[in-house]
Amino acid sequence: MHTEKEEVLSNIGSYEKRCDGFDWGVSKEILSWKDGELLNIGAICSDRVCARGWGDKPALVWEGFGDKKRTYTFDDLKLHSNGFAKLLVDIGIEPGDRVCVFMDRIPSLYFSFLGILKMGGVAQPLFCAFGDESLEVRLASAGTRAILTTQKHVKKVRKIKDRLPALEHVIVVEGDRSKLKDGEGFFHVESADRVEEFDVFPADPETPSVLHYTSGTTGQPKGAQHVHDSIWGQALTTSWVLDLRDDDVYWCTADPGWVTGTSYGIIGPWSLGVTQCVLDSGFTSARWYQFIQDHRVTVWYSAPTAIRSLMRDGEELAGKYDLKSLRHLASVGEPLNAEAVVWSERAYGLPFHDTFWQTETGSIMIANYPGMEIRPGSMGRPFPGIEAGLLDLKTHEELTEPGKVGLIAFRPGWPSMFRAYRGEPEKYRGRFVGARADATPDELRTDTGLWYVSGDRSSIDQDGYYWFVGRDDDVINTGGHLVGPFEIESALVEHEAIAEAAAIGKPDEVNMEVVKVFVTLNAGYEPSGDLELAIMNFIRKRLSPLAMPQEIEYVEKLPKTRSGKILRRYLRALEWGEDVGDLSTLEDD
């Protein structure tokens, strides 16, 4: 069905040749970027594309709830990001200040994200599904100075603003200006004065750019700090893994609150001047297919949970739409099961290509490449220039034997790698094996004798393909989103009925995992259906719908280690029907 298209060589061409003598400089060549030129991701994704003569080309093809549709060119992207950049300068935001973007996937999210970068600010995108507590923890950690939001979501900001002394500016970018409270600003970029030219902040490669919060096993979420140098990793992987070309119409289904939605839903594709589609409305298979058909989407980057939902609705539904425009499909976020790859070949005539990476890595690290054999169920091979390996689970020695299970690790030094966990140098250092106790962050990111350890388990086959086994920690992956058990447990014990709590992931057909919690109740409280609903809603509102437990189990007491840590892994093993084994091996204190 797609034979003519397959004859076109992929951007990557020969994987082996690309690996041979690899240099990240090739990314600069792809963007025709010369040393000494202005470095700024915001400008590279807008002004620079216009300067190549593509000002009239569609940059953003957008659809919202109902029948809302808009198309913006790269000229519009330049103009509207300038508008936001100027606004921020006018209100006194300085380079390096954190500016949070807290909105649905409306066009202003994309304009403001680039605008923040253009003026040298640090863009901190957060899911607007977050409740006030999730929001507060992340704004407090970042010392965020301004938040850009909409009338729909500003209520959550109001609840917490008094506890956030650094948060000086709350600006509403969409909605009804008359509903604002004292001290809140309103800015609608499309009705504001046009800002044709803006003096873009000249970033250094190490200038902070984007701050993404990600959940770990212990403690509150950590802020992974990225820098402008990341562009080289993002642009090149977009070209070689997602195979984007000048005439592509690309759809990344991820929200920019998640790193996939910024690295590959903003930065990579727009740096290459590619047209992107955004659908800001809930998921239904029919709506997604209609969207692909209407916009003639050619390259589609999505996640296994969505793919499994599409599978559930069947090939017949897919067959009712004209999806022949599609030429390349890729997936990230969770294990992509072999059935999904085989199914997509049947349903769309094209397989999904699995890719593996993390918030911390900033760009794709392991992938199945276009035009090359896919081993269904495997994540593929390391990106050229990325030195990857597996480390023994206990000793952290490198494993060389095919088939052995170890921790996925990467030698530091790739451009998109995170440069810090904001305010937590010890945690940052803790991600590197072999690091001296006094190593500086700069040493850590450049010392190719170290390993950055991903926290995921995998094996490698004799041909160098990686096969995902599971996470090495207690983080819950629900529908591709990482949820920290500690965050859920901390929120649960704030509920008046709950004494102690443990959160784990339980198996789910579509989302891979959903949150299940075990709780002990305070004296005077009895388990009941009403209490269960109240607890679920409590978490949904405070944290997010994703963190909301799908099941609550009341227990007399929780299993603990000798030092009193809750044994989540024991609960998890029981839940998954895995061998609990010798309890002492589960204890990690």
Q: Give contact residues for ligand 6R9 (rule: CB under 6 A).
A: 214, 258-260, 332-336, 354-359, 379, 454-456, 468, 471, 477, 482
CA pair distance 391, 388, nearest whole angstrom: 10
The DSSP secondary structure of 86-106, one letter per residue, reads HHHHHTT--TT-EEEEES-S-
Nearest residue (CB) to ligand 6R9, 151 versus 337 = 337
Nearest residue (CB) to ligand 6R9, 309 versus 358 = 358
The residue type at 449: G
For residue 210, the minimal CB distance to ligand 6R9 (Å) is: 13
CA-closest candidate to residue 299, choices 224, 234, 341, 247: 247
Nearest residue (CB) to ligand 6R9, 291 versus 410 = 410
CA pair distance 542, 488, nearest whole angstrom: 10
Tokens for 144, please give them.
Answer: 């965020």
Nearest residue (CB) to ligand 6R9, 33 versus 301 = 301
Nearest residue (CB) to ligand 6R9, 332 versus 536 = 332
For residue 471, the minimal CB distance to ligand 6R9 (Å) is: 5
Residue nearest to ligand 6R9 (CB): 359
CA pair distance 230, 45, nearest whole angstrom: 13
Nearest residue (CB) to ligand 6R9, 111 versus 264 = 264
For residue 292, the minimal CB distance to ligand 6R9 (Å) is: 22
Nearest residue (CB) to ligand 6R9, 288 versus 357 = 357
Cβ contact 139:163 at 8 Å:
no
Cβ contact 230:41 at 8 Å:
yes
Residues 6+ apart with CB under 8 A from 137: 220, 221, 487
- DSSP assigned state of 53: I
CA pair distance 91, 169, nearest whole angstrom: 8
CA pair distance 404, 423, nearest whole angstrom: 36
For residue 214, the minimal CB distance to ligand 6R9 (Å) is: 5
Nearest residue (CB) to ligand 6R9, 275 versus 416 = 416
Strand blocks (E) in 122-204 = 122-125, 146-149, 169-172, 184-186
For residue 416, the minimal CB distance to ligand 6R9 (Å) is: 11
CA atoms within 13 A on the CB side of 367: 30
Cβ contact 148:102 at 8 Å:
yes
Tokens for 503, please give them.
Answer: 């959160």
For residue 523, the minimal CB distance to ligand 6R9 (Å) is: 39
For residue 364, the minimal CB distance to ligand 6R9 (Å) is: 8
Nearest residue (CB) to ligand 6R9, 75 versus 513 = 513
For residue 515, the minimal CB distance to ligand 6R9 (Å) is: 16
Strand blocks (E) in 343-421 = 352-356, 366-367, 381-382, 388-391, 398-399, 406-410, 420-421
For residue 382, the minimal CB distance to ligand 6R9 (Å) is: 13
